[in-house]
Amino acid sequence: MTAMSGGVDSSVTALLLQQQGQPVAGMFMKNWEEDDQVSGCTAADDAADARSVAEKLDMRLHERNFAAEYWDEVFEHFLAEIRAGRTPNPDILCNREIKFRVFADHARDLGADIIATGHYARRRENPDGTVSLLKAVDLNKDQSYFLYALDQKQLSMARFPLGELTKPQVRALAEQAGLPVADKKDSTGICFIGERNFDRFIARYLESAPGEIRTGSGQVIGRHRGLIHYTPGQRQGLGIGGLRGFSEDPWYVVFKDMDNNVLYAEQNASHPTLMSTRVTAHEAHWIGRVPRAGERLHAKIRYRQRDQACRIERLDDSVVVLAFDQPQRAVTPGQAVVVYDGDECLGGATIAAGNAPLPAAMTTTDTTGAVPA
């Protein structure tokens, strides 16, 4: 059973399986009930594209609505994390709970014992019967970062036909086969937000009080719209340019004080408050081999980041502490740190904190000084 999104990747996935002589059916998942015109989603258009591809490939297409499961298993967690001041990555939870659990269960009910998706990743079957998750050949498109939370049962059932291909090769195959989505633009962002304004979307579900923006030394330099709208390292949307007594350099979010509703900002993209050499992460999940304390590996703290050399400093149950060779900028609670041994994705965890120092003002009592008008 192929997960059909209406995009070129899932369409070529089905095409490749057909060319291999596999019996293939598809399933289109609708995961969001919001009105398309409001949310920016294109579920209706995507479903129509999936039907067109299925017709072209003479393939049966099933359609399922998983909106209730998505809300319960992904979106409520997403909101809770933002409310707590963290920056969640719902794609990781969606893969684990929806695409490789709910979707897989429905595929099995329809008689399928294998599910295929358009993810750029690879898998390896090992002599001991376990399955390893590997990076895609196209490192620019590699999506193993978003798949680190899958377990052995899910990986055993999964197939990733695009893992050995580059994106240009995938588009060329779609064009050669005359697929109607060969030139379709890749989707970006979170499905239920689409390419609409994130702040306006999230404000429909969460309330957040405005408050002060301060420098690390405690000077008040502006007002924020609510801490849920900001994340460490953010440059755009602060609205504090051209302040008297400061340079014209851009400002960056360096810390969110949730207890006092204060946003701290500095004019240095590599300010010490943004730089961590150690990352503590919770809810660790290991796909197969569990790394050892003291082992040197590589990890990334965000998607598309180049692998960073690190050492497993501590490993206790579901907690892992990574010591990086080079300081990591904007370690963001709620995001994932994913660990690699060469091309193999060992697993990962949800970032709890880095070891960057707090803003100086948070360790002093004089935080009332305002910038002159």
**Alpha-carbon span 105 to 109, nearest angstrom:** 6
Q: What is the CA radius of gyration of the chain?
A: 23
Contacts of range 194-199, beta carbons closer than 8 Å, 24 or more positions apart: 194/39, 194/40, 194/41, 194/42, 195/40, 196/39, 196/40, 199/225, 199/229, 199/237
> How big is the CA angle at 98 (ends 141 and 153), to the nearest 5 degrees?
85
Q: How far is CA 110 from CA 48, 61, 68, 115, in A?
A: 22, 12, 20, 11
Verify whether residue 310 is a known catalytic residue: no
Whether 345 is catalytic is: no
Residues 191, 224: Cα–Cα separation, whole Å? 27
What is the Cα–Cα distance from 340 to 333, expressed in whole angstroms? 20
Query: Encoding tokens for residue 292?
Result: 């050892």
**Which of 325, 294, 292, 293 lies closest to 309 in space, CA to CA?**
325
Only one residue has tokens 């090992």, namely: 126
Task: Please report, for residues 24, 179, 224, the alpha-carbon distance to residue 15 in angstroms, rounded to integers and kept in the order given.
Answer: 9, 9, 49
CA angle 196, 199, 204 (to 5 degrees): 95
Q: Which of 41, 191, 310, 345 is catalytic?
A: 191
Q: State residue 60 phi and psi, 5-degree precision.
A: -75, 135
- At 293, list the tokens: 């304390």
d(C-alpha 170, C-alpha 308), whole Å: 29
Closest CA to 326 of 282, 288, 276, 254: 276
Q: Using CA atoms, how far apart are residues 150 and 101, in angstroms rounded to an integer?
A: 10
Residues involved in catalysis: 94, 191
